[in-house]
Amino acid sequence: MSNTKAQVFLDINRTIAPISPLLFGGFAEHMGRCVYEGIYDPESPHADANGLRKDVMEALRDQSYTVIRYPGGNFLSGYNWLDGVGPKEGRPRRRELAWQSIETNQFGTNEFMRFCAEINTAPMLGVNMGAGDVQSACALVEYCNAPQGTYWSDLRASHGFAKPHNVRYWCVGNEMDGPWQIGHLDAAAYGNKAMEAAKLMKWLDPAIKTVLCGSSNDRMPTYPEWDRTTLEIAWEQMDYLSIHYYAGNQANDTASYLASAVSFERFVDTLEGTLRYVKARQRSKHDVHLSWDEWQVWYKGDPVQGNWTEAPHLAEEIYNLEDALVVAQWLNVFLRKSQVLKIACVAQIVNVISWLHTRKDGLLKHPSYYVFKLVSNFARGEALDVLVKAPQVETRQYDAVPVLDVSASYNAETQQGAIFLVNRSLTESAPTDIVWQDGKTVQVDKAWQLSGSDPKEANLWESPNRIVAKAISTPSVEAGRATITLPPLSFTVLTTRIA
Ligand code: AHR
């Protein structure tokens, strides 16, 4: 890497698109200890009167989630939603096939609605397109959204919820391209089933927005043909195409891992191209956007099968500094691709592949928890088209990449902005000039940084605060220029306002 200073050029008039608030969403699945012992744990000293973990909800509120997707995931494709409503003592215990666990059904749709209200977030529900059928999907929409006076809405009322839940976002299945999926279908069969389901769901409630299952990742042999085929069949009935992606450092090649944003952007670019192609081919006026409704780091090899036990420990990854820097880049990509990316849900919000872990009496926050919290709280308004001129670092997987990964936002209403900067170098600081080109007098209000010298450093129960975001001194801005030195392996957030 050369010694040249990095330069980040911003202009509040050079925008990409409004940042959809739904980019800061989460995902909660009946898998491992996400629901049981994570969200819902009547046995915990932290449980409220409904069995919801108060400490977990407080941590989630701090992260300002705008939408939570539920109940799965692979779980969805074997789930009968009727098992999870009505008096708890009558709900069946079942062998749950996706994660080979015992499902007690003590938490279901209505408990999830109560949880969403508690943390002030919107629900996003899935309908089962694997073992489930179109009729059951319609019944759930009617149960949730119809005013009283019909069989399913009266059933909801009899369960204690007189008013409709008014669920707006609906996933039409989950990862139906994957042979691991219960009831997996080929693209044409799924496209047709999803199209019919969405059509009838929208007949029941025209206000809902539907999400078509796209490719489970960019390594699927059917990618991106699956996306094209299903979109061509179901285009007019769908509002979003779902994409999923899990990243990892399997090769223990940290330099490449810290350039993961390259893969994320390629994935979005390909699917944005597919959306444009299908729209043109259909001669359609309708738009479909992307919903990245499962994203996270996941590779450390924890078990994923529960051996027919309740709330087994599954996929409880311990995330470290390098994982947090990959998460920061992911969020940068969300802003840089905000013209097409309108929903994103991190998988998952607690315990399972999550930066938040529970014990009966406590909570552990991994480094990436703080990264998400900063971005979800400060990225507002429009994403800016940032020009970055930076020295390059060499990587085995992606060749040379700029040492900095950057995104920025500006909210014209409040005249406040935010800049999010990752220094992906393992060893070198990056002296950086930030230049505002729009001629406005800007001031940096606050600055936070998360960094460390060892990419593998993590927060553990016995030392929970090794890697946290800390307030740092703010650089002064003179003649539209601020200078800051970004340490290696760091994520820095600057909030700004027009002086
Ligand atoms: O989030 C864990 C699992 O990953 C989900 O159930 C599935 O959709 C994906 O493969």
Which of 99, 216, 294, 350 is the pocket-test mutation for ligand 1 (most atoms within 8 Å of CB)? 294
Q: Which residue has the CA at smallest separation from atom 5 of ligand 1?
A: 73
Report yes or no: 343 and 23 within 8 Å, Cβ to Cβ.
yes
Q: Is 293 in the pocket of ligand 1 (CB under 6 A)?
A: no
> Virtual CA dihedral for 318, 320, 325, 331, nearest 10 degrees?
20
How do residues 181-231 score in pLDDT, each as one tens digit? 999 999 999 999 999 999 999 999 999 999 999 999 999 999 999 999 999
Give the confidence band of 499 by pLDDT, cuts at 50, 70, 90. Answer: confident
| Cα 144 to averaged position of ligand 1 atoms, centre (Å) | 24
- Is residue 175 part of the annotated active site? The answer reads yes
Determine the residue type at 373.
K
488: CB partners within 8 A, 6+ apart: 423, 425, 426, 427, 428, 429, 430, 451, 453
Q: Is 174 in the pocket of ligand 1 (CB under 6 A)?
A: yes
Partnered with residue 432 across adjacent β-strands are: 6, 484
* Cα separations in angstroms, 236 against 25, 29, 195, 241, 318: 25, 28, 8, 12, 42
How do residues 406-436 score in pLDDT, each as one tens digit? 999 999 999 999 999 999 999 999 999 999 9
| Cα 133 to averaged position of ligand 1 atoms, centre (Å) | 21
Residue of 37, 294, 317, 382 marked active site: 294
How do residues 11-68 score in pLDDT, each as one tens digit? 999 999 999 999 999 999 999 999 999 999 999 999 999 999 999 999 999 999 999 9
* pLDDT of amino acid 2: 63
Q: Is 132 in the pocket of ligand 1 (CB under 6 A)?
A: no
How do residues 229-255 score in pLDDT, each as one tens digit? 999 999 999 999 999 999 999 999 999
HSE-up of 460 (CA within 13 Å, CB side)? 4
The pLDDT of 297-314, averaged and rounded, is: 96
Residue of 37, 96, 111, 175 marked active site: 175
Q: Which residue has the CA at smallest separation from atom 3 of ligand 1?
A: 73
Taking the complete model, does pTM exceed 0.85, yes or no? yes
Q: Which residue has the CA at smallest separation from atom 4 of ligand 1?
A: 73
